[in-house]
A and B are shown apart, each in its own frame.
Chain A
Amino acid sequence: MCGVDVLDLARWQFGITTVYHFLMVPLTIGLAVLVAGMQTAWVRTGDVKYLRMTKFWGKLMLVNFAMGVVTGIVQEFQFGMSWSEYSRFVGDVFGAPLAMEGLVAFFVESTFLGLWIFGWDRLSKRVHLACAWAFSLATIASAYFILAANSWMQHPVGVELVDGRPRLTSIWAVLGNNTALTAVPHAIAGCFAVAGAFLVGIGTWHLCRREPEDQPVWRASVKLGGVVGLVAFAALALSGDAQGKLMFEQQPMKMAAAEALCHTEQPASFSVFAVGDVSRPDCESVKSITVPALLSFLAHNDFTTEVRGIDQLVAEYQRAYGTNYPVDERLGELSGKPVDYVPNLPVTYWAFRFMIGFGALSALTGAAVLWFTRKGRTPRSKWLPRLALAGIATPFVGNSFGWIFTEMGRQPFVVAPNPSGVDGVWLFTARGVSGVTAGEVLTSLIALTTVYAVLAGVEFYLIRRYARAGVAGVMPPKDTDDTEPGDKLAFAY
């Protein structure tokens, strides 16, 4: 009994903290790079408009950065705390990208961010700009390393099995895992979609208020955000398609779960929208709007490929990985019970659709705003700024559902088996959990959820406050009666 409780609680805890962390991360990554770009434009052209953009968007980036940092700390230790058996199993492989992330990316990010915040008057313009690029590129490097680690759990490569545990044989295989090489562009494009929608939302709101000062700032921000959002959506579609094709080969059950595809089809049709309970294994009660043969194309680039359904895959998985969990007291209620190889279908089915839907919505909003503000126009409409503000949420939602889909789609495995990999390199989630009490995990679940919720409220309040105030809120007017010029710090907390 205890085992099951710990398992469920640990899964909820990891899910909540990770989804929360990934609300902050995309905004940080996307915005950091865009702010570095704005500062570059200022250094190269000397146009004060770009300096004002840098200061304004930079401040919002910093308010968000703090939350990204502190929620990331928890992630680093959760593996050992709640998933110690998993950590022992994968440590030889999984620890390496994690440590590299710390040594190569976190140090650069944190150090150069400090230099950037406080260094406006201490560093030359060029060195200060270099600091902006250092930390924004380090955020991308950090994403690469952690996604390489995650991709190894989805598709383990570069290992041999020694004493029942995977042992690293090639770090290049892990860092060059094709799963990672498609996940990184997809995730980074998702980050830019967030940053783009953020610029469009807040920029349009200010633009439509027709404030006399800073019209050029808001116009340039909206344009930049809109273009970035559209390019990001194109990149999301392309990289997502590549990921789908890999998923077809590497994690066929996840592919079937994305579609709630009960029976093998050839050619397979893509379900756009379903009415009814997709979790029913027979599919009889589900009415689905489908596009014929599209799923075959998504899976394999032709319209005739067979796509295996859940019933066939369950039989295959049972043959390969056993029908029952081993008898082991650490598995609690699951000990000796049959393994359910089917992920939570309503979650995978709908998360997949929401991911695509909200991503598209975000791009549409960006396109609409670009259209209505074309050639220096300022629309008088009341609904456009509202639409743009609401549009800020869409890529966040899309990102979250994308991660929920990819993580819950690999259940019941925490390390999913690689069909063309080494036998035995996989682990049931139920076997990865720590030998701690349910009370401990429950305490951390409640504590972290509460602290995160409170801090999210504070962050939202601050972002809203600074976003409303515009550039004037972050750039003090120059003091004229400064008795000791050059003595004051340019910035202090």
Chain B
Amino acid sequence: MDLATLWFMIIAVLWLGYLFLEGFDFGVGMLLPVLARDEDERRVMVNTIGPVWDGNEVWLLVAGGATFAAFPGWYASLFSSAYLALLLFLVALIGRGVAFEYRGKVDTDRWRRGWDTVIVGCSWVAALGVGLVLSWNVWGLPLDAAGDRVGGPFAFLGWPTLLGAVAVAGFALVHGAAFTALKTEGPLRERARALALRTAPIALVPLAVLLVLVQLRSGSLWTWVPLLVVVGAAATALLRLRAAREGQAFAALGVAVAATVVTLFGALYPDVLPSTVDPAFSLTVAGAASSPYTLTVMSWVALFGTPAVLVYQGWTYWVFRKRIGVHHLPPVHTP
């Protein structure tokens, strides 16, 4: 296998890590007003992701940086063509990050309610935004020969990309509910589990539709396999959730998101960014890759860096593995 294909796969893995980890981050934020009944429960929910949300978000930064390093043309065309969508997404990430850190810094209801609104709104926008950008990439962009977008600032708005946005948001919803069920105890846990079971049959439909459409449009024969795995894993997740085995359900959702990424990127290959104007303008893995030397350097960095990241991020989840309940919360202490 050549280095360019390897890097295409590494970028897919980084997206997988991001969608898996930030999927439940977004979900927890989106469900804050739905699942939590009072301030203590909201605080419990925010603290299920407290120690990890920042590290989860870095997967996106590294996916972006790796795309810049390995496929500069891909990075340039995708990000400039989806300018406004990406801007909205970035503003949402800014709001979320600050809100998590600041919501507990002043002890008044008004202050907390304000930041909760920011968390909820920004989580929805960010989940929709990342789905939009991902699906915009998979469906193809109206690129001219220079790799620039034609069709104006809102060219990214079309029903396939909107479907992608809803698909990722729907997944984040179910994933977030399953994660809350896994990490909390008492009534919150039961409510989260019930919500996941109730919403999944609807919330996961857009994702299934997106995958089938992408598969029919540009899939290979082998990409039917991961697609079927997605369906099987999602069904397993719901069955395990019904049996109150949240850990297994969460793992099954992880398999589902992994298989989703494999299907999407498998259908994309050998393009990295298809042009809808003329297939000749499409950016391909072979054509858009950096030089072999750059890819070699980056491969060495990834070879040593990635396992280390997996080990210490895994350790973090281990350190904070205990379920949290309202009775674990320390009293609020602010000046």
Q: Which A residues are closer than 8 A to B by beta carbons? A: 62-63, 65-67, 69-74, 76-77, 79-82, 84-85, 87-88, 90-96, 98-104, 106-108, 110-115, 117-119, 122-123, 162, 167-169, 171, 434-437, 439-441, 443-444, 447-448, 451, 455, 458, 462, 465-466, 468-469, 472-474, 476, 479, 484, 487-493
What residues of A have a CB within 8 angstroms of the CB of B76 in the complex? 79-80, 84-85, 87-88, 91, 434
Cβ-defined contact, A95 with B68, below 8 A: yes
Cβ-defined contact, A70 with B104, below 8 A: no
Cβ-defined contact, B297 with A171, below 8 A: yes
- Beta-carbon contacts of B213-229 to A below 8 Å, as 1s and 0s? 00000000000000000
Q: Which 5 A-B pairs have the closest CB atoms?
A: A91-B72, A469-B335, A80-B79, A95-B69, A473-B335
What residues of A have a CB within 8 angstroms of the CB of B55 in the complex? 107, 110-111, 114
Cβ-defined contact, B68 with A118, below 8 A: no
Which of B87, B100, B294 is close to A493, meaning CB atoms less than 8 Å apart? B100
Smallest distance from the beta carbon of A37 to chain B beta carbons, Å?
Answer: 23
Cβ-defined contact, A92 with B290, below 8 A: yes
Cβ-defined contact, A115 with B86, below 8 A: no
Cβ-defined contact, A69 with B106, below 8 A: no
Cβ-defined contact, A76 with B64, below 8 A: yes
What residues of A have a CB within 8 angstroms of the CB of B331 in the complex? 476, 479
Please classify how large the interface on chain B is, using the bins under 10, 10 to 19, 20 to 34, 35 or more. 35 or more
What residues of B have a CB within 8 angstroms of the CB of A451 in the complex? 91, 94-95
User: Assuming A107-B55, A473-B334, is B47 touching A489 (CB within 8 A)?
Assistant: yes
Which of B75, B101, B298, B330 is close to A80, meaning CB atoms less than 8 Å apart? B75
Cβ-defined contact, A98 with B69, below 8 A: yes
Cβ-defined contact, A493 with B43, below 8 A: yes
What residues of B have a CB within 8 angstroms of the CB of A490 in the complex? 330
What residues of B have a CB within 8 angstroms of the CB of A110 in the complex? 54-55, 57-58
Cβ-defined contact, A95 with B91, below 8 A: no
What residues of A have a CB within 8 angstroms of the CB of B83 in the complex? 81, 434, 436, 440-441, 444
Interface of chain A: mostly helix, strand, loop or mixed: helix
Cβ-defined contact, B64 with A96, below 8 A: no
Contacting chain A: which of B198-206, B258-266, B313-321? B313-321
Cβ-defined contact, A102 with B328, below 8 A: no
- Beta-carbon contacts of B109-120 to A below 8 Å, as 1s and 0s? 000000000000
* 7 pairs of residues in contact across A and B, judged by CB atoms under 8 Å: A80-B64, A82-B80, A102-B66, A104-B301, A106-B62, A436-B149, A437-B153
A81 CA to B140 CA in the complex, in Å? 17
Which residue of chain A has its CB nearest to the CB of B77? A84
Q: Is B147 an interface residue (CB 8 A)?
A: yes
User: Assuming A88-B76, A106-B62, A489-B330, is B86 touching A95 (CB within 8 A)?
Assistant: no
Cβ-defined contact, B94 with A114, below 8 A: no
Q: Is B65 an interface residue (CB 8 A)?
A: yes
Smallest distance from the beta carbon of A86 to chain B beta carbons, Å?
Answer: 8
- Beta-carbon contacts of B294-323 to A below 8 Å, as 1s and 0s? 100110011001100100110010011000
Which residue of chain A has its CB nearest to the CB of B89? A77
Q: Is B242 an interface residue (CB 8 A)?
A: no
A99 CA to B146 CA in the complex, in Å? 25
Q: Which B residues are closer than 8 A to A by beta carbons? A: 43, 46-47, 50-55, 57-58, 60-62, 64-73, 75-80, 83-84, 86-87, 90-91, 93-95, 97-98, 100-106, 146-149, 152-153, 290-291, 293-294, 297-298, 301-302, 305-306, 309, 312-313, 316, 319-320, 324, 327-331, 333-335
What residues of A have a CB within 8 angstroms of the CB of B60 in the complex? 73
Cβ-defined contact, A492 with B104, below 8 A: yes
What residues of A have a CB within 8 angstroms of the CB of B64 in the complex? 76-77, 80, 102
Cβ-defined contact, B87 with A434, below 8 A: no
User: Assuming A436-B80, A493-B43, is B94 touching A73 (CB within 8 A)?
Assistant: yes
Smallest distance from the beta carbon of B96 to chain A beta carbons, Å?
Answer: 8
What residues of A have a CB within 8 angstroms of the CB of B93 in the complex? 70, 73
A17 CA to B112 CA in the complex, in Å? 27
A451 CA to B97 CA in the complex, in Å? 13
Cβ-defined contact, B79 with A114, below 8 A: no
Smallest distance from the beta carbon of A107 to chain B beta carbons, Å?
Answer: 5
What residues of B have a CB within 8 angstroms of the CB of A441 in the complex? 83
Cβ-defined contact, B309 with A91, below 8 A: no
A94 CA to B298 CA in the complex, in Å? 12
Which of B102, B293, B334, B335 is close to A66, meaning CB atoms less than 8 Å apart? B102
What residues of A have a CB within 8 angstroms of the CB of B66 in the complex? 95, 99, 102-103
Smallest distance from the beta carbon of B310 to chain A beta carbons, Å?
Answer: 10
What residues of A have a CB within 8 angstroms of the CB of B298 in the complex? 96, 99
Which of B47, B68, B309 is close to A79, meaning CB atoms less than 8 Å apart? B68
Smallest distance from the beta carbon of A335 to chain B beta carbons, Å?
Answer: 16
**Which residue among A95, A434, A462, A465 has the maximum number of chain B CB atoms within 10 Å of its CB?**
A95
What residues of A have a CB within 8 angstroms of the CB of B104 in the complex? 492-493
Cβ-defined contact, A96 with B52, below 8 A: no
Smallest distance from the beta carbon of A28 to chain B beta carbons, Å?
Answer: 13
What residues of B have a CB within 8 angstroms of the CB of A69 in the complex? 54, 97
Which residue of chain A has its CB nearest to the CB of B312? A111
Smallest distance from the beta carbon of A369 to chain B beta carbons, Å?
Answer: 24
User: Assuming A168-B293, A492-B329, is B62 touching A468 (CB within 8 A)?
Assistant: no
What residues of B have a CB within 8 angstroms of the CB of A118 in the complex? 50-51, 320
What residues of B have a CB within 8 angstroms of the CB of A104 in the complex? 301, 305
Cβ-defined contact, B330 with A448, below 8 A: no
Cβ-defined contact, B72 with A87, below 8 A: yes
Cβ-defined contact, B94 with A115, below 8 A: no
Smallest distance from the beta carbon of A36 to chain B beta carbons, Å?
Answer: 17
Smallest distance from the beta carbon of B328 to chain A beta carbons, Å?
Answer: 5
